[in-house]
Structure 1
Amino acid sequence: MQKIDWHILRKSITGGMTDEEKSELQGWLEESGENRRYYRKMQGFFTRAGHGGEVDVLKNFREFERKTFGKRRRLVVGILKYAAVFVVLVGSVVLWRGMNFDSQKTNMQQFAFAPGVEKAILYTGTGEQIVLESQVRRNIVVADSFQVRQDSNVLNYAAMKIEGKLIDVTHMIRVPRGGEFSMKLSDATMVYLNAETDLSYPVQFYGEERRVKLTGEAYFDVTKSDKPFVVEVNGFEVKVLGTRFNIHAYQEETRFETTLEQGRVQVQTKDHTLLLEPGEQAVLTEEGELSKQKVDVRRYTAWKDGQFVFDDERLEDVMNRVARWYDIKVFYRNPEVKDIRINGNISRYKDFSVLLEKIEKLEIVYFDIKGNVITVIGK
């Protein structure tokens, strides 16, 4: 990661940046995906810390650095444990977790598959459509002259000054293919939205519960309250009081997943109810079958921290996940290659051709690329 003056980062949080500093920050962000991921995580940390009162930016920044790079060192140790392992199983392919992504360029790298960016569209109660892009700080007028704050890649409803009035208005945020965005609901719950995701929610929570509707994938860090927080998805509901969990529920897929990182959640369908403990995942199939299992949570939540983690996954499932992020279309000339198994990690901010190149080197499939359409062909 390239260095940047800490005072510029501080001003990007507290305000008061000059045009020259804005230009320097934008240039730094455009230098690498790692810079953008670091900055996004920093913004999320300070947003969760709240906006009320005086903020000790230096103290909070040091805490963010400790948590961020502390985790990074532990991750390196975890990778080194497997550095000597390369396994090929019958009917499967395993990619080494420590892939060298800086290897020499090959013909594959003539194709550009840029990663997604922070973008979304906000649909207000009046039907207005507002384009949301990163690096923008502004107040957006919503209902009855009330304003919601956009702090770069976070849409912050908790910063509204309502003063005892009730706003009975529903908004929807839509993240397209090739996008991601974050938001802070009026109760200070943080929501991280993956590509091709819709979330409908009230501008202000009121009544007996806090209810939102989701299609796609989102990670929720729910603020504790005596009012249940309910995520409504086609076919099931997830109910909590305060917890951290991920929901993967794309309509075109055959199963929906709820993965719990912290706290407890209740997953409920018309006929069944399951209680999840940390490290457990509820799976609902299109046939209506509901079950739970123990999982490695990071595999399902790493996307919000800028990583793809594949653990014995079918090639088709891998390609489906990355296709939304890189906004590409995938077809298969040989259907049997869909069941090749893939293990490995890759940054969401790498050019997609890097992953394709690594898969091609295994000499099991190759890729025919025309524009943003990729055809997978068995060898």
Structure 2
Amino acid sequence: MQKIDWSILRRSVNGDLTEKEKQEVEAWRNESGENERYYQKMKNFFTQEKSKEVDVRKNLKKFEQRTYGKQRKVFIGLCKYVAVFICLVGTIVLWQKFDTVQPEVNSLALAPGKDQAVLYTGSGKAIVLESRLRTNIVISDSLFVEQDSNVLNYEGIEAKGKMVDEFHLMRVPRGGEFSMKLSDGTMVHLNAETDLRYPVRFSGEERRVVLSGEAFFDVAKSGTPFIVELNGFEVKVLGTRFNINAYEGESRFETTLERGSVEINVKGKTLLLEPGEQAVLTNTGELSKQKVDVSLYTAWKDGYFVFEDERLEDVMNTVARWYDVNLFYQNPGVKEIRINGNISRYKDFSVLLEKIEKLDIVHFDIKGNNITVIDK
């Protein structure tokens, strides 16, 4: 990551920059996906601290330690306040202050997901990936792929003379997440229960990958189109940042655009997206777009669950993938309860369940990894 005066970044949170500084920050953010991700994490952190007197050096040190010092605690403790709202006819609100000390783990504790994936090579070889210090992953006698923490990096393979024309499959299981940099420099953040099939080295007139699940793409600019192929449609871009949620079995697929432009192609239909818009494809084939708050759909990659008027069933399906649990409903009617709020993805699952239970609407019966939602 390229260096920049952190005090400028800190002041940018409050918009207290000169025009020259604004240009410097913008140029730095555009240099790489890593810079942009760092900026968003810093922005999230200091935004939540701005109601206090800020000791800049102290808070920067605390931010750096949380962001890079402990891999699995990136955002634990960043949110001291979590609001869980449940709407059922009227609106019921729970505002709970969390202690900075982590909750005591009990026999019903369900740990959050972690960095894990399985890489399948063109020969069918399966390589288990976990977060680790920088190392080389041996693909074959003539091919090594660099891994740094939770990022598998294919960039520069051609420059190193590794001329391998084959496809790999990155599979992130339930309870996992992982990131990768494709050979063209495109960053991809993969959510739980997600598959991405891609060439070791892009060539030809397009850069094409195949996705099932959820991923955030920060596509490297190029004159060659970048195409994400999904079940039933394609997303085509040149250089942009967007999120795709396309889990099999769900009632709708969503493509949410943060920056740049996107073209959606579905069976002869074409839909163009501008920043702040979302394309929705239903399982009946209906294609539409709408204005949205993009942060609601990209917060997962920064360590948060954020829900706005979501059905309880949709909320539970989302978190179940991350915590790798099985869901059952004693009364299907509770699936329509509406949920609003946010919570860290790195909290123990029991924390979220306890907050919902305090609203006295549903109860959760936990037996191992099986959770039954019971109507009260």
TM-score tier after normalising by the smaller chain length: 0.7 to 0.9
> Which of 91, 97, 105 is the equivalent residue of 2:89?
91
The aligned counterpart of 1:348 is 345
SS in structure 1 opposite 2:264? strand
Task: Report percent identity of matched pairs.
Answer: 64
Q: CA RMSD in A?
A: 2.9
- 1:77 to 1:344, Cα distance in 2 relative to 1, 3 A: farther
* Deviation (angstroms), 1:110: 4.4
Find out whether 1:291 has 2:288 as its counterpart. Answer: yes
- 1:170 to 1:66, Cα distance in 2 relative to 1, 3 A: closer
The aligned counterpart of 1:25 is none
Greater displacement, 142-151 / 289-298:
142-151
Correspondence 1:255-294 to 2 at 5 A: 255-294=252-291
**CA distance in 1: counterparts of 2:191 and 2:161, whole angstroms:** 33
**CA distance in 2: counterparts of 1:309 and 1:371, whole angstroms:** 26
* Deviation (angstroms), 1:107: 11
The aligned counterpart of 2:44 is 71
CA contact (8 A) 2:227 2:234 kept: yes
> Which of 201, 209, 214 is the equivalent residue of 2:211?
214
Find out whether 1:194 has 2:217 as its counterpart. Answer: no
The aligned counterpart of 1:224 is 221
Deviations, residues 28-73 of structure 1 (Å, cap 9, x unaligned) = xxxxxxxxxxxxxxxxx9x9478xxxxxxxxx8xx98776434322
**CA distance in 2: counterparts of 1:167 and 1:105, whole angstroms:** 47
| Count of aligned positions | 318
CA contact (8 A) 2:226 2:237 kept: yes
Find out whether 1:168 has 2:165 as its counterpart. Answer: yes
**Letter matched to residue 297 of structure 1:** V
CA contact (8 A) 2:86 2:337 kept: no
- 1:92 to 1:111, Cα distance in 2 relative to 1, 3 A: farther
CA contact (8 A) 2:243 2:255 kept: yes
CA contact (8 A) 1:101 1:354 kept: no
* Deviation (angstroms), 1:100: 1.9
The aligned counterpart of 2:23 is none
> Which of 118, 123, 128 is the equivalent residue of 2:120?
123
- 1:118 to 1:228, Cα distance in 2 relative to 1, 3 A: same
- 1:145 to 1:344, Cα distance in 2 relative to 1, 3 A: same
CA contact (8 A) 1:108 1:357 kept: no
**CA distance in 1: counterparts of 2:266 and 2:169, whole angstroms:** 24
CA contact (8 A) 2:84 2:356 kept: no
CA contact (8 A) 1:171 1:202 kept: yes
**CA distance in 1: counterparts of 2:40 and 2:86, whole angstroms:** 35
TM-score by length of 2: 0.78
CA contact (8 A) 2:110 2:349 kept: yes
Deviations, residues 69-119 of structure 1 (Å, cap 9, x unaligned) = 3432224569xxxx9x997755265545x5323399999954111000100
Correspondence 1:97-116 to 2 at 5 A: 99-102=96-99, 110-116=107-113
Which 5+ residue runs of structure 2 have no aligned equivalent?
A: 1-28, 52-80
Greater displacement, 356-365 / 153-162:
153-162
Which 5+ residue runs of structure 1 have no aligned equivalent?
A: 1-44, 51-59
**Letter matched to residue 74 of structure 1:** T
* Deviation (angstroms), 1:168: 1.4
- 1:76 to 1:297, Cα distance in 2 relative to 1, 3 A: farther
Deviations, residues 98-152 of structure 1 (Å, cap 9, x unaligned) = 5323399999954111000100000001110000010242212335602210112
TM-score by length of 1: 0.77
**CA distance in 2: counterparts of 1:335 and 1:204, whole angstroms:** 47
> Which of 284, 298, 303 is the equivalent residue of 1:301?
298
CA contact (8 A) 1:92 1:341 kept: no
**CA distance in 1: counterparts of 2:297 and 2:279, whole angstroms:** 12
